[in-house]
Structure 1
Amino acid sequence: MNSDNFKYTDERFADIMMLRYRLENFDSLSLRQKKLVYCLSQAALFGRDITFDQFGKYNLVIRSVLEAVYMNYEGSRETDDFKAFEVYLKRVWFSNGIYHHYGSDKFKPGFTPQFFINAVKSLDCRVLPLADEQSVDELCDTLVPVIFDSDVYPVKVCKKSDVDLVQSSACNFYENVTQKEVEDYYASMKKTDGGDLLSYGLNTTVVKNDGKVSECVWKVGGKYGAAIEKIVFWLQQALNVAENDKQQNVIELLISYYKSGLLRDFNEYCIEWVEEKDSLVDFINGFIEVYDDPLGLKGTWEGLVEYRDIEGTKRTKVISENAQWFEDHSPIDPRFKKKQVNGVSANVICAAMLGGGEYPSTAIGINLPNADWIRAVHGSKSVTISNIISAYNEAARGNGFDDEFVIDEETKDMIRKYGDLCDVIHTDLHECLGHGSGQLLLGVDPDALKAYGNTIEEARADLFGLYYSADVKMVELGLLPDKDAYKAGYYSYIMNGMLTQLARINKGHDIEEAHMRDRALIARWCYEQGKNDNVIELVGNNGKTFVRINDYEKLRVLFGCLLAEIQRIKSEGDYLSAKDLVEKYAVKVDPILHDEILTRYERLGIPPYKGFINPVLLPVTDDAGNVIDICVDYSETYTQQMLRYSKFYSTLV
Structure 2
Amino acid sequence: MRNTQFSYTDERFADILMLRYKLDNFSSLSLRQKKLVYYLSEAALYGRDITFDQFGRYNLKIRKVFEQIYLNYKGDRTADEFMELVVYLKRVWFSSGIYHHYGCDKFVPGFSKAFFIDAVKSVDGSLLPLDEGQTVDGLCEELLPIIFDPDVMPVKVNKKDGFDLVETSACNFYDGVTQSEVEEYYASKKNPDDKEPLSYGLNTTVKKCDGRVVEEVWRIGAKYGAAIEKIVYWLEMASTVAENDKQRSVIDALIKYYKSGDLADFNEYCIKWVDEKESAVDFINGFIEVYDDPLGMKGTWEGLVEYRDVEGTRRTRVISDNAQWFEDHSPVDSRFKKQQVKGVSANVICAATLGGGEYPSTAIGINLPNADWIRASHGSKSVTISNIISAYNEASRGNGFDEEFVIDEETIKLIRQYGDICDIIHTDLHECLGHGSGQLLPGVDPDSLKAYGNTIEEARADLFGLYYAADKKLVELGLLPDAEAYKAEYYSYMMNGLLTQLARIKKGNCIEEAHMRNRALVARWCYEKGREGNVVELVRQNGKTYVRINDYEQLRNLFAALLAEIQRIKSEGDYAAARDIVENYAVNIDPVLHDEILCRYNSLGIPPYKGFINPVLMPVTDCDGKIMDITVDYSETYEHQMLRYSRDYSTLI
Normalised to the residue count of structure 2, the TM-score between the two structures is: 0.99
The answer to whether the 8 A contact 1:280-1:307 is kept is yes
User: How do residues 195-344 of structure 1 correspond to structure 2 at under 5 angstroms?
Assistant: 197-344=197-344
The answer to whether the 8 A contact 2:192-2:443 is kept is no
Q: Secondary structure at the match of 2:190?
A: helix
The answer to whether the 8 A contact 1:2-1:633 is kept is no
Q: Secondary structure at the match of 1:11?
A: strand
In the other structure, the counterpart of 1:31 is 31
In the other structure, the counterpart of 1:555 is 555
In the other structure, the counterpart of 2:123 is 123
Are residues 224 and 354 of structure 1, via their aligned partners in 2, closer, same or farther at CA, if it must alter by over 3 Å? same
Counterpart-to-counterpart distance in 2, 1:439 and 1:209: 38
Q: Cα RMSD (Å) of the superposition?
A: 1.1
The answer to whether the 8 A contact 1:100-1:106 is kept is yes
Are residues 3 and 426 of structure 1, via their aligned partners in 2, closer, same or farther at CA, if it must alter by over 3 Å? farther
Residue-by-residue CA offset, 1:563-595 (whole Å, 9 max, x unaligned)? 000000000000000000000000000000000
Residue-by-residue CA offset, 1:275-295 (whole Å, 9 max, x unaligned)? 000000000000000000000
In the other structure, the counterpart of 2:484 is 484
Are residues 196 and 597 of structure 1, via their aligned partners in 2, closer, same or farther at CA, if it must alter by over 3 Å? same
In the other structure, the counterpart of 1:445 is 445
Residue-by-residue CA offset, 1:105-140 (whole Å, 9 max, x unaligned)? 000000001100110011110110111111111100
In the other structure, the counterpart of 1:564 is 564
Counterpart-to-counterpart distance in 2, 1:584 and 1:3: 52
Q: For 1:320, give the aligned amino acid.
A: S
In the other structure, the counterpart of 1:138 is 138
Residue segments in structure 2 that go unaligned for 5+ positions in a row = none
Q: Secondary structure at the match of 2:384?
A: strand
User: How far off is 1:2 after superposition?
Assistant: 9.1
In the other structure, the counterpart of 1:409 is 409
In the other structure, the counterpart of 2:467 is 467
State whether structure 2 residue 84 is matched by structure 1 residue 89: no
Which 10-residue stretch deviates more, 506-515 or 621-630? 621-630
Residue segments in structure 1 that go unaligned for 5+ positions in a row = none
Q: For 2:188, give the aligned amino acid.
A: S
Counterpart-to-counterpart distance in 2, 1:272 and 1:533: 50
In the other structure, the counterpart of 1:591 is 591
Counterpart-to-counterpart distance in 2, 1:321 and 1:196: 26
User: How do residues 624-635 of structure 1 correspond to structure 2 at under 5 angstroms?
Assistant: 624-635=624-635
Counterpart-to-counterpart distance in 2, 1:265 and 1:462: 31
User: How far off is 1:473 after superposition?
Assistant: 0.2
Q: Secondary structure at the match of 1:342?
A: coil
Counterpart-to-counterpart distance in 2, 1:187 and 1:67: 43
Q: For 2:260, give the aligned amino acid.
A: S
User: How far off is 1:194 after superposition?
Assistant: 5.6
Counterpart-to-counterpart distance in 1, 2:306 and 2:4: 23
User: How far off is 1:411 after superposition?
Assistant: 0.1
Q: Secondary structure at the match of 2:518?
A: helix
User: How far off is 1:210 after superposition?
Assistant: 1.9
The answer to whether the 8 A contact 1:40-1:283 is kept is yes
Counterpart-to-counterpart distance in 2, 1:335 and 1:20: 45
Q: Secondary structure at the match of 1:566?
A: helix
User: How far off is 1:193 after superposition?
Assistant: 9.5
Residue-by-residue CA offset, 1:477-534 (whole Å, 9 max, x unaligned)? 0000000100000000000000000000000000000000000000000000000100
In the other structure, the counterpart of 1:544 is 544
Counterpart-to-counterpart distance in 2, 1:3 and 1:612: 18
In the other structure, the counterpart of 1:511 is 511
Counterpart-to-counterpart distance in 2, 1:233 and 1:289: 23
User: How do residues 37-116 of structure 1 correspond to structure 2 at under 5 angstroms?
Assistant: 37-116=37-116
The answer to whether the 8 A contact 1:382-1:431 is kept is yes
Q: Secondary structure at the match of 1:291?
A: coil
Counterpart-to-counterpart distance in 1, 2:452 and 2:624: 57
State whether structure 2 residue 421 is matched by structure 1 residue 399: no
State whether structure 2 residue 184 is matched by structure 1 residue 160: no
Q: Secondary structure at the match of 1:464?
A: helix
User: How far off is 1:192 after superposition?
Assistant: 10
User: How far off is 1:612 after superposition?
Assistant: 0.1
In the other structure, the counterpart of 2:601 is 601
Are residues 434 and 193 of structure 1, via their aligned partners in 2, closer, same or farther at CA, if it must alter by over 3 Å? closer
Counterpart-to-counterpart distance in 1, 2:297 and 2:109: 31
User: How far off is 1:3 after superposition?
Assistant: 8.5
Counterpart-to-counterpart distance in 2, 1:190 and 1:392: 42
The answer to whether the 8 A contact 1:348-1:384 is kept is yes
Counterpart-to-counterpart distance in 1, 2:322 and 2:2: 41
Counterpart-to-counterpart distance in 1, 2:168 and 2:95: 19
Q: For 1:197, give the aligned amino acid.
A: P
Are residues 14 and 516 of structure 1, via their aligned partners in 2, closer, same or farther at CA, if it must alter by over 3 Å? same
Q: Secondary structure at the match of 2:546?
A: strand
Residue-by-residue CA offset, 1:163-215 (whole Å, 9 max, x unaligned)? 10000000000000000000000000114996751000000000012211000
Which 10-residue stretch deviates more, 25-34 or 183-192? 183-192
Q: For 2:287, give the aligned amino acid.
A: F
Residue-by-residue CA offset, 1:232-278 (whole Å, 9 max, x unaligned)? 00000001110000000000000000000000000000000000000
Counterpart-to-counterpart distance in 1, 2:520 and 2:106: 23
Counterpart-to-counterpart distance in 1, 2:101 and 2:131: 28
The answer to whether the 8 A contact 1:20-1:612 is kept is yes
Q: Secondary structure at the match of 1:443?
A: coil
The answer to whether the 8 A contact 2:2-2:636 is kept is no
User: How far off is 1:624 after superposition?
Assistant: 2.3
User: How far off is 1:78 after superposition?
Assistant: 1.1
Q: For 2:164, give the aligned amino acid.
A: D
The answer to whether the 8 A contact 1:414-1:488 is kept is yes
Aligned residue pairs total 653
User: How far off is 1:471 after superposition?
Assistant: 0.2
Q: For 2:283, give the aligned amino acid.
A: F
Q: For 1:383, give the aligned amino acid.
A: V
Residue-by-residue CA offset, 1:15-68 (whole Å, 9 max, x unaligned)? 000000000000000000000000000000000000000000000000000001
The answer to whether the 8 A contact 1:166-1:177 is kept is yes
Q: For 1:261, give the aligned amino acid.
A: G
User: How far off is 1:623 after superposition?
Assistant: 2.0
Counterpart-to-counterpart distance in 1, 2:42 and 2:111: 35
Are residues 117 and 57 of structure 1, via their aligned partners in 2, closer, same or farther at CA, if it must alter by over 3 Å? same
Q: Secondary structure at the match of 1:571?
A: helix
Residue-by-residue CA offset, 1:592-614 (whole Å, 9 max, x unaligned)? 00000000111000000000000
Are residues 195 and 376 of structure 1, via their aligned partners in 2, closer, same or farther at CA, if it must alter by over 3 Å? closer
Q: For 2:163, give the aligned amino acid.
A: V
Counterpart-to-counterpart distance in 2, 1:4 and 1:32: 29
Counterpart-to-counterpart distance in 1, 2:639 and 2:193: 48
Q: For 1:32, give the aligned amino acid.
A: R
The answer to whether the 8 A contact 2:193-2:443 is kept is no
Q: For 1:475, give the aligned amino acid.
A: V
Counterpart-to-counterpart distance in 1, 2:652 and 2:264: 27
Counterpart-to-counterpart distance in 2, 1:645 and 1:611: 16
Counterpart-to-counterpart distance in 2, 1:566 and 1:618: 47
In the other structure, the counterpart of 1:638 is 638
The answer to whether the 8 A contact 1:2-1:632 is kept is no
Q: For 2:477, give the aligned amino acid.
A: L
Q: Secondary structure at the match of 1:19?
A: strand
In the other structure, the counterpart of 2:383 is 383
In the other structure, the counterpart of 1:185 is 185
Counterpart-to-counterpart distance in 2, 1:213 and 1:482: 58
Q: For 1:33, give the aligned amino acid.
A: Q
In the other structure, the counterpart of 2:574 is 574
Q: For 2:366, give the aligned amino acid.
A: I
Q: Secondary structure at the match of 1:279?
A: coil
Counterpart-to-counterpart distance in 1, 2:199 and 2:623: 49
User: How far off is 1:4 after superposition?
Assistant: 5.7
Q: For 2:409, give the aligned amino acid.
A: E
Residue-by-residue CA offset, 1:457-492 (whole Å, 9 max, x unaligned)? 000000000000000000000000000100000000
